[in-house]
Structure 1
Amino acid sequence: MDKKDIKLTSSEIGTLWGQYMNGTAVEIINTYMLSIIEDKKIKALFENAMRTFGKKKKQIITFLKKDGFPVPIGFTDSDLNKGTKRLFSDIFCLHYLHIITLHGLLGHTTSISSFIRKDLRYFYDSCDNDGKRMYHQTTELLLEKRHFQRDPYFFPDENPEFIQGQDFLDGFFGNKRPLAATEIIAL
């Protein structure tokens, strides 16, 4: 089989469709936030995020059209209530961008396993690289502005212990015990 003739599979179409829908939803939220943000550094990150997704959106459209699939309608400017008074602080917007970037990173990492075609694998690699870059930028700016919320510290016992009996499980059913570090991650 000629690699250039590989058609999109159902999982590839679904993944591209999902990224387009999620991306256009985030794009509308980012458009609103960009319109209210006053802090120059935060505004610059949002402008970068908007440019980056704009390029990705064009690539997704190209992939779909090339194989004869319609472009999803997605979210558009008609979903944005322009002129709405300010709802969020600049710092809230920065936290939002940080968290949505984390969700994007998870999605890109999962999505790459759906693709066989080289062009799509490299596309998702670039999405992942852009996401990692944005993650580092939002983290650094949150730290600079002293608004990065760190996980709680953990103070372990001096010696490791093996779980014996039901004591460890009793923590789930009434008796209290300290949380394990792996349980804190999930919170």
Structure 2
Amino acid sequence: MPEKPAITSSELGTLWLTYQEKTMILRLLEYFIEKADDEKAKDIMASLYEEIDNYVSIIAETFQNEGAVIPVGFTAQDVNKEVPKLYDNGFDIMFIRLLKEISMGLHSLNITMAYREDIIMIFKELTALTQKYYNLCTQYLLEKGLLVRSPYVSMPKSVEFVKDNNYLGGFPINPFSEKRTLNTVEVAHIHHSIESNIFGIQMITGFAQCANEGEVKDYFNDGAELAKSIVKELSEILLQDGIQIPQASGGNATRSTLAPFSEKMMMYCTSLFCSFSMGSGSLGTAFSLRNDLPAKTTIFMKDIFEYAHRGAKIMIKNGWMEEPPQMEERNQMMN
């Protein structure tokens, strides 16, 4: 059998990012499992923990075999299981579900940047694992009445084709043009964005009330306000067409002000959610045909990018941002 080729820069980079994300999820699960008061939720999280922990070990072993340093990621120092519950009423499974949603996109993308069969298999198996637990979390939340389905619609009885350019109409192009009713693809992306941002408000509110650093606390408070403004504007778009707005019924922060997670981990988690939000916004922009929708989404993405950039500066200032593996400085080496 021929020897395995060395892993490529893209394989190293995607494995490094996966290690960061998975070690963060392990720390979150350790806390949520400790505080879980629902046995079914606890079983889901305990099973997920065991499976993720196995892949963290596989990735660490891959780094070791390639002669690469194992990243720090997130360790026992980043979680405190002894503090009171920071969130209540299903937040743990809501959190895991959204993290699995992020992971699905990441693993699918990572497969396209892998070449060695064993690396492809890692991401292929992680994709299947992620889909499995995303479904388990979704069904759990639906059973508990903690997840709002997107709006229902009358089923189409005939196939229609766009007849003229008025279908694309919207304020940015012509302020006097009449906006058509939203189509189901546009509603899907708007509903998803509202759902994600409502959860983001709950998550970052908890982070804000237990953060110790004043600059970090202010950052989280500003993030909650940004998410609220996005929810408000998208909700108004739905209301204009008489469409039901999704309302979350659980997952609120408790009164605890003791941090279960390090500020480094809370900042990283917020950064991950910002990246996810920008990626989702890009898809929403690509598939929305009414001109006012991409224009509004683009503004949201700009605001989210600026917010994420501010967060990166805070992380660098405090020494919380682990640097990804770097390419060789060829110009410097030649000089």
Residue 78 (structure 1) aligns with: 77
Deviation at 1:113, TM superposition (A): 1.4
Residue 27 (structure 1) aligns with: 26
Residue 178 (structure 1) aligns with: 181
CA RMSD of aligned residues (A): 1.9
Residue 155 (structure 1) aligns with: 154
**Structure 1 regions of 5+ residues with no counterpart?**
none
Runs of 4+ in 1 over 4 A off after TM superposition: 156-160
Residue 135 (structure 2) aligns with: 136
Q: When the two structures are superposed, what TM-score results if normalisation uses the length of structure 2? A: 0.52
Moved more, 38-47 or 111-120: 111-120
Separation (CA, whole Å) in 2 of partners of 1:169 and 1:130: 40
Q: Which amino acid aligns with 2:35?
A: I
- Per the alignment, do residues 5 and 158 of structure 1 end up closer, same or farther by CA in structure 2, a change over 3 Å counting? closer
Separation (CA, whole Å) in 1 of partners of 2:155 and 2:122: 43
Residue 87 (structure 1) aligns with: 86
Residue 145 (structure 1) aligns with: 144
8 Å CA contact retained: 1:38, 1:90: no
Deviation at 1:183, TM superposition (A): 1.1
Between the aligned residues of both structures, percent identity stands at 25
**Structure 2 regions of 5+ residues with no counterpart?**
191-335
How many pairs are equivalent? 186
Q: When the two structures are superposed, what TM-score results if normalisation uses the length of structure 1? A: 0.89
Separation (CA, whole Å) in 1 of partners of 2:155 and 2:140: 31
- Per the alignment, do residues 172 and 8 of structure 1 end up closer, same or farther by CA in structure 2, a change over 3 Å counting? farther
- Deviation sequence 1:21-72 (CA, Å, 0-9, x none): 0111122222222221100000111111111111000000011111100000
- Deviation sequence 1:55-111 (CA, Å, 0-9, x none): 000000011111100000001111123422211114111111111111111111111
8 Å CA contact retained: 2:34, 2:81: no
SS of alignment partner, residue 121 of structure 2: helix
SS of alignment partner, residue 44 of structure 1: helix
Deviation at 1:139, TM superposition (A): 2.0
Moved more, 90-99 or 151-160: 151-160
8 Å CA contact retained: 1:105, 1:128: yes
Separation (CA, whole Å) in 2 of partners of 1:34 and 1:5: 39
Deviation at 1:176, TM superposition (A): 3.0
- Per the alignment, do residues 72 and 154 of structure 1 end up closer, same or farther by CA in structure 2, a change over 3 Å counting? same
Residue 118 (structure 1) aligns with: 117
